[in-house]
């Protein structure tokens, strides 16, 4: 982290504070949290090194250095954060995680600690995005994509999955879907969630958090929720075979189930579900649609190369791109879904009308909304080349 260039803005400093003063460490932590929230950071990183406690936060998906605190602050700062999260301050040899409490903020914050060579590293996740996307219009998806998503949400059973890597906005999209259904049906449908953790409170929706130490797992919670007479269930993430199978069984018994999943493309998402043990007939019968998505930084409207509004990055805010795979449109048999290779499945989906992430990205570059460098950063070399080079044929289309 030392090689990163700090932002062209005042560093989060400990100026005027003394490490031996009982109030200094709480004040320093408060300054850091408030500054990160004001900057709309999604994550704060605190890394202990021999030179000091290095601070960085993530803006629009990119990590930026914001300061270095003296080394003698490190242990006390991490301990203060652990107190706020009700963690064990005397256990520095094991990873811990918890929710930050007793802080004057409406933003949900969760702390994760991890032992390193020079002390405990801490990462604070700020769940700031979910409250900013109340409707589909806020997501910014093109009309053709919204039409497919709306049709899937009108179903009374089946499974809709939002896929992508960490930080691609999957949960935000799922929350927006729940808000849309809540408004559309005026509270006449029972909407419930099972999450790890609950990232934001949704009015009128029953939300629960799993608790793995107490054996309250996704699979156990989902089986119990099915007896709570729900119409729509959001399962925070499909992580294992048991959860995957339970999700798809629920989708075939009169429930519409939304969930998230880690996958690089829509086609890969389908084959990875099969790898988890979901049988092809369950995929074909239960999967209403799989949306794979990414977030691209938008060019700052107020500058060419950087200004105070964009923290001298040249980018401000992000835009969602997505591809939608709908199994019922594919010319394959029930037993082939998830069995045929992902590249073949993708080509069949393209033939059935699916627009790729790379094509969405290419359109945004052409419209001047983002840059080729940003597409390269998010999609990688092969996909970016396909997006930015007319007529380019990828040797591996997935």
Interval 132-162: pLDDT, tens: 667 888 888 889 999 999 999 999 999 999 9
Of 290, 293, 313, 295, whose CA–CA distance to 303 is shortest? 313
Q: Cα separation of 237 and 335, whole Å?
A: 25
- Please give the residue that has the higher pLDDT: either 232 or 308: 232
Q: Cα separation of 76 and 21, whole Å?
A: 11
Question: In this model, does residue 4 exceed pLDDT 70?
Answer: no
Question: What ranges do the domains of the chain cover?
Answer: 24-127, 130-351
The string of pLDDT tens digits covering residues 358-372 is 999 999 999 999 999
Q: What is the pLDDT of residue 7?
A: 42
The CATH number assigned to the domain with range 130-351 reads 3.40.50.300
Categorize the per-residue pLDDT at 108 as very low, low, confident or very high, splitting at 50, 70 and 90. confident
Please give the distance of CA 59 from its chain centroid, rounded to a whole number. 14
The string of pLDDT tens digits covering residues 230-271 is 999 999 999 999 999 999 999 998 899 999 999 999 999 999
CA distances from 251 to 173, 246, 340 (A): 19, 9, 23
24-127: CATH, from 3.30.450.90, 3.30.70.270, 1.10.10.10, 3.40.630.30: 3.30.450.90
Question: In this model, does residue 20 exceed pLDDT 90?
Answer: no
Q: What is the pLDDT of residue 1?
A: 38
Question: In this model, does residue 96 exceed pLDDT 90?
Answer: yes
Q: Cα separation of 398 and 396, whole Å?
A: 6
Query: What is the value of pTM for the model shown?
Result: 0.87
Q: Cα separation of 30 and 50, whole Å?
A: 24
Of 363, 381, 281, 382, whose CA–CA distance to 323 is shortest? 363
The string of pLDDT tens digits covering residues 191-216 is 999 998 888 888 889 999 888 777 88
Question: In this model, does residue 392 exceed pLDDT 60?
Answer: no
Contact 287, 270 (CB under 8 A): yes
**DSSP secondary structure, 49-73, as one string:** ETTEEEEEEEETTEEEEEEEE-GGG
Percent with pLDDT over 90 in the chain: 63
CA angle 179, 182, 185 (to 5 degrees): 145
Which residues are CB-neighbours of 286 under 8 A, at least 6 positions away?
Answer: 158, 159, 248, 251, 252
Instruction: Write down the mean pLDDT value for the chain.
Output: 88
Neighbours of 75 (CB within 10 A): 16
Where would I find the H helices in the chain? 24-38, 74-84, 136-139, 143-153, 170-185, 218-225, 241-251, 266-275, 280-286, 342-351, 357-366, 372-379, 381-388
**DSSP secondary structure, 175-211, as one string:** HHHHHHHHHHHTT-S-EEEEESS--S--TT-EEEE-B
């Amino acid at each position: 982290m030392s090689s990163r260039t700090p932002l062209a803005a005042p560093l989060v400093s400990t100026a005027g504070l003394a490490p031996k003063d009982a109030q200094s460490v709480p004040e320093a932590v408060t300054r850091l949290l408030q500054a990160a929230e004001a900057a709309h950071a999604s994550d704060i990183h605190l890394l202990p090194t021999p030179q000091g406690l290095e601070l960085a936060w993530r803006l629009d998906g990119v990590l930026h250095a914001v300061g270095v605190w003296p080394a003698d602050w490190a242990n006390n700062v991490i301990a203060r954060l652990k107190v706020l999260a009700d963690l064990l301050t005397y256990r520095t040899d094991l990873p811990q995680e918890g929710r930050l409490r007793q802080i004057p903020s409406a933003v949900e914050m969760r702390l994760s600690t991890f032992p390193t060579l020079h002390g405990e590293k801490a990462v604070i996740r700020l769940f700031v995005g979910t409250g900013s996307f109340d409707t589909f219009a806020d997501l910014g998806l093109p009309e053709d994509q919204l039409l497919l998503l709306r049709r899937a949400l009108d179903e009374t059973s089946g499974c809709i999955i939002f896929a992508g890597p960490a930080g691609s906005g999957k949960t935000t999209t799922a929350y927006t879907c729940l808000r849309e259904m809540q408004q559309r049906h005026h509270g006449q449908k029972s909407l419930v969630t099972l999450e790890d953790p609950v990232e934001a409170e949704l009015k009128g929706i029953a939300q629960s958090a799993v608790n793995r130490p107490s054996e309250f797992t996704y699979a156990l919670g989902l089986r119990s929720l099915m007896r709570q007479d729900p119409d729509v269930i959001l399962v925070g993430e499909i992580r294992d075979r048991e959860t995957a199978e339970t999700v798809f069984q629920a989708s075939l018994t009169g429930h519409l189930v939304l969930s998230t999943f880690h996958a690089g493309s829509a086609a890969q998402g389908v084959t990875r579900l099969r790898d988890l043990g979901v049988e092809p007939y369950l995929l074909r019968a239960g999967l209403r649609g799989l949306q794979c998505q990414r977030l691209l930084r938008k060019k700052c409207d107020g500058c060419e190369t950087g200004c105070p509004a964009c923290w001298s990055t040249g980018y401000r805010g992000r835009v969602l791109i997505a591809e939608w795979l709908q199994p019922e449109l594919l010319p394959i048999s029930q037993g082939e879904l998830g069995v045929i290779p992902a590249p073949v499945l993708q080509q069949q989906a393209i033939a059935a009308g699916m627009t790729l992430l790379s094509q969405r990205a290419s359109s945004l570059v052409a419209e001047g909304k983002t840059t080729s460098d940003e597409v390269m950063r998010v999609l990688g070399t092969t996909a970016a080349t396909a997006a930015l080079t007319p007529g380019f044929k990828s040797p591996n289309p997935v």
